[in-house]
Structure 1
């Protein structure tokens, strides 16, 4: 009996020893999931700061959207001093490929590989899919993955999710919303795109056509041309749920010409069948677009389709909920943040979610800061989310989603992960620790990141109608475009006023919108939509909303109305913003 007990204890001791060996062989300080540009930056940053790091990617190559979607046209932007706003690791990679606006995809992929291979602390695991997140309480402790050699479990002290769709965060139980749910557009996502690839294009002739105003002309800088907005009106799509917008054209060194312009609507980013259908629809439409370009755009007469990307460019999927949700107001008001880890300044470009919508350039900021709190997800510890799915509102993501900004954010995530291990403190606690944030900012600046405090003004600051305008901006029902002009003094048309009420109600109070939609038609059918809206007409439209009735004087005729509204019978946009925001509050 004693001998049997001895053997059992010996076996148990051996098992525990083997388990310890397994942990020693496969445990990491930091695991980064996602081989997108953001994932590469996060992993390289963590490794350089002393963390034993594992980078996991489910594809065969690094680069994600750049490599598989052939999106080779960079959304670069500058700060208030005309410096490139995204530096550090992004600049390092960008310099490797010659610092163009548009790059050769193979060169980009090679540069990512070189950066990863150059880090002794960094291990790369390709063709590996995360199947399960393992937690202890709220803390993420391990992931179960499927590799080419079988299923494995990897443990780490910290994790970073840099997948495009926040896949690891979702598996771990981080709360999130889909697409534009946060502004009342349930089930709606920005359009997807297939990048069209052509060869045998006469670049010189295309350049000359841009200068001569063909298809309303275009702008050019080195190997990129953007414009030809005449295509929007002249081209008629053949495939359903597709639309062509102005052309963003790039030329690689090997002569391959890529065009980012074809929008594909109705793609569910979580349904493989829907994605495949969207991709095939885009391929078919590309042939019709080629015929159009051969007829209408000099330089494309002999063009042929060179190939098709392997993947769609999907702009939007999940938005995780974080300790701080970066808002459109933060972007518009050019706000600094006490815990800034990166700067952004790209215009808020919200692509249409269906063919009935136009593109929405909400605002064009000077610059704004992205806080550390926006990459610290709610409810799950030891995890950061550094990708276009980070803690941004869907409107703020219209700017913050661009890759250069994402790479800067991801570099900060990698650095923060290494520092948090060194201090043995949780991300959530550190997100409230000003001393830690100052240390993190110092390290990032030493690594080349562009970070500094700033205090900038913004248009309409202090104007009487600004609080109302801000409320409508948060709903995404108004836009200022690239020149940041909401035209407050311009008179509003019946169509504009009616649409603004309808859009505001549909996004904030669907029940009241349904009632309004049924009754408003009879109120506007006798009016020309482009006719200026009078105060009397506005009152009648507002009164058609149930529960408002004849309360116009009670709701709107206050001191602010009397002081700021003009004596004109017509309503300006500023007055319209005030009326509708007041209506929403009531």
Structure 2
């Protein structure tokens, strides 16, 4: 009897422990004690603002390198774009040897979410909490809004923060702005430009997106539809899909300033929900709360129409429903701060290394549309680099001391941000910023001095490599290197007027069409010399139309190009020999004189060279100092 009772008790205990063990395994990660909504102290070595993935990486790196660190976040949780914008697809790049280009803290997080290109959103949040919970030098303050910056001259020394217990002043030796829009840098007086102002496009920025979150999607049925070419077909994998490009033309939006691009689709394993990054929303002001709210409501209404379209046109979505709406929009572009070094599109095109490299970028320069139609009405892939270096100088903002910016708003041109804004690169920059902040304190130096001194930069690079970052110096070739038109490409690239696509192919040996040459010339003038655009282009629209309407051939001949340039730039009667007339006026150089010795079709390489020559004549060649 006693033996039977003992066995009953034994098996009962096994069942109880097994049950509670299973329950515990299904629970979300317990919040570590270093994540709070109440102040713990008011003075730190380093304060990071913004618990976006970039800010989390910065805070962890700072703490790991011995700095007493505070991470301030206005939301009630971690993860920013990943968890509130619900963007759960990663833009991954790979270095010249095929290795994941962004490692270190990003790789640690990526391994926790199973090394996939798409991740479960709840799992991403838990992974961030897990990493933060291991850092004894790190405190996270949630639901805390920075109201004011405190400066001593141009040195940032403190923040006034409204947290859950009141208004408090927090002080630190160094600060890292990892807010998505460089809010702290802007408050402190760091100079910046908005959107694509740096290439002459005022009030122009990439589209916002409301990620669609759907349930009841039949993934296998969708995969079969893709294989059968429905809506142009797609590449479909275990939990990711790209394509269905025909939606661009077939889908008809109901809301103004919205449209659907090709579908980027991801499936979550934990709950089966499917997210789609495709709905583009165009609004004037990405910094205005009112504008964001209006865009969000417009996006919600349009999402219902998108769902209706998918149910009718894409097998696998017949029973789909909207599961929920993300709390926030995916805002691709607002501020770009001016830094000690502005990383340029030529740095990416030419696969450049930097002496102060803190990591790599290797993702294509992918510029989303900026308007429903017209010049900005389509996606542009400028280039697909092998790899390029992110310099520490691009994290050091101009004019304000004691501050680094580690986010998509760092010191990149708007074109460069088409690649460098991606989160894996941002987390690499964040890790470098946190590490640099700790080193600066330990070496009794500041960021402005660091960018001129190889000793602290060497120490920064040493520690980054020691702590898992992929970092080494390299020398690589680049497309069309050494060609006679190489410099011409470099002169035009910074204006965003030529795109080489994923294959880095400019089709230089093919004839250029009239419309392509005129568009290249007019867009270059508009962006480089907007005050002359009306005089040079708009005032000669009749001539341009006459050339375009010549239906003998769509391709531009040498003499047609000469006639166009003579009329635009000299306002004079064109002779029977326009090319000779152009040469006498020195509106063409010896290189093209020799190459275009007969009146034949102009090659794309020659068209690029000619427009770059005109750009030089307008005395508006834009360049950044390169080391």
Specify the TM-score bucket, using the shorter chain as the normaliser: over 0.9
Contact 2:558 2:596 in 1 (8 A): no
Q: Larger deviation: 384-393 or 497-506? A: 497-506
Q: What are the residue-to-residue correspondences of 1:359-398 with 2, within 5 Å?
A: 359-398=379-418
The residue that corresponds to 1:537 in the other structure is 560
Structure 1: distance between partners of 2:539 and 2:302: 40
Q: Larger deviation: 416-425 or 485-494? A: 485-494
Q: Work out whether 1:453 is the aligned partner of 2:473.
A: yes
The residue that corresponds to 2:36 in the other structure is none
Structure 2: distance between partners of 1:466 and 1:47: 46
The residue that corresponds to 1:410 in the other structure is 430
Q: What's the C-alpha RMSD, in Å, of the aligned pairs?
A: 1.5
Which among 441, 462, 469 is matched to residue 421 of structure 1? 441
The residue that corresponds to 1:244 in the other structure is 260
The residue that corresponds to 1:3 in the other structure is none
Q: What are the residue-to-residue correspondences of 1:290-301 with 2, within 5 Å?
A: 290-301=307-318
Q: Shift of the alpha carbon at 1:536? A: 1.7
Q: Shift of the alpha carbon at 1:24? A: 11
Contact 2:284 2:291 in 1 (8 A): yes
The residue that corresponds to 2:611 in the other structure is 580
The residue that corresponds to 1:522 in the other structure is 542
Q: Work out whether 1:79 is the aligned partner of 2:102.
A: no
Q: What are the residue-to-residue correspondences of 1:65-464 with 2, within 5 Å?
A: 65-253=81-269, 254-355=271-372, 356=374, 357-464=377-484
- Other structure's SS at 2:537 match: helix
Q: Shift of the alpha carbon at 1:444? A: 0.3
Q: Work out whether 1:556 is the aligned partner of 2:573.
A: no
Contact 1:349 1:399 in 2 (8 A): yes
Contact 1:515 1:546 in 2 (8 A): no
The residue that corresponds to 2:623 in the other structure is none
The residue that corresponds to 2:500 in the other structure is 480
Contact 1:381 1:427 in 2 (8 A): yes
Contact 2:57 2:105 in 1 (8 A): yes
Structure 2: distance between partners of 1:338 and 1:566: 45
Q: Shift of the alpha carbon at 1:448? A: 0.5
Q: Shift of the alpha carbon at 1:25? A: 4.0
Gaps of 5+ in 1: 1-22
Structure 1: distance between partners of 2:218 and 2:115: 24
Gaps of 5+ in 2: 1-38, 575-580, 618-627
TM-score (norm 2): 0.88
CA deviation string 1:104-159 (max 9, x = no partner): 11111111112112211101111111111111122111111111111110100110
Q: Closer, same or farther in 2 for the Cα pair 1:566/1:56, shift >3 Å?
A: farther
Q: Closer, same or farther in 2 for the Cα pair 1:512/1:408, shift >3 Å?
A: same
The residue that corresponds to 1:8 in the other structure is none
Structure 1: distance between partners of 2:465 and 2:338: 27
Which among 54, 65, 73 is matched to residue 70 of structure 2? 54
Q: Closer, same or farther in 2 for the Cα pair 1:548/1:366, shift >3 Å?
A: farther
Structure 1: distance between partners of 2:386 and 2:194: 28
Contact 2:588 2:610 in 1 (8 A): no
Number of equivalent positions? 564
Structure 2: distance between partners of 1:342 and 1:548: 51
Q: Shift of the alpha carbon at 1:271? A: 1.2
- Other structure's SS at 1:539 match: helix
Contact 1:201 1:302 in 2 (8 A): yes
The residue that corresponds to 2:515 in the other structure is 495
Structure 1: distance between partners of 2:431 and 2:570: 52
Q: Shift of the alpha carbon at 1:222? A: 2.0
Contact 2:547 2:560 in 1 (8 A): no
Which among 485, 497, 505 is matched to residue 465 of structure 1? 485
Q: Closer, same or farther in 2 for the Cα pair 1:127/1:566, shift >3 Å?
A: farther
Q: Shift of the alpha carbon at 1:278? A: 0.9
